Amino acid sequence: MPTLSLDETANCACGAVSLRIEGPVLSMLVCSCLDCRKATGTGHSAVILMSTDAVEISGDVKGHTRKAASGSEITRNFCPECGTPLFARTARAPLLALIPAGLFDNPDWFAPRQAIFSRTHLQWDTLNEALPQYDTYRDTGGF
């Protein structure tokens, strides 16, 4: 499958923060780890991975750092005014930005290629059965 390249802008709910995304998408996935479930308030997160140099942030953001299911620290950044989740970064992959697909107004291009942390996936949260699932990360150890 050809690499998807994005040229998109996304905004938080109140408009105080915008993200300009320009460049190739490195991966698209869903994650069912407890941290992602708590961050989204649902059964999984839907994430695109971009190089940090492909993401331009306008406006003030606030971050919260904690230890993730991987054992690495993850910092989830959000709008301090409205609380919209904007992006995350992990110590295990510091040059990647994890961006929620739902942040974009029309993310019809989102097509996850894997489901990670399936060991904690909730039965009521239905995923495409053809989607490759991994107990933690895929066998190569990366996203």
pLDDT in tens, the chain (143 residues): 558 999 999 999 999 999 999 999 999 999 988 888 888 888 899 999 999 999 999 999 999 999 876 788 999 999 999 999 999 999 989 999 999 999 999 999 999 999 988 888 888 988 888 998 888 876 555 55
- The pLDDT score that the predictor gives to residue 18 is 97
Q: The whole model's pTM is what?
A: 0.87
Q: Long-range contacts for 13-17 (Cβ within 8 Å, ≥24 apart)? A: 13/79, 13/82, 13/83, 13/84, 14/79, 14/81, 14/82, 14/84, 16/59, 16/60, 16/79, 16/80, 16/81, 16/82, 17/57, 17/58, 17/59, 17/60, 17/61, 17/79, 17/84, 17/86
Classify residue 5 by burial, with Cβ atoms within 10 Å: 0-12, 13-18, 19+. Answer: exposed
- The pLDDT score that the predictor gives to residue 140 is 56
Q: Does 5-120 carry CATH code 3.90.1590.10?
A: yes
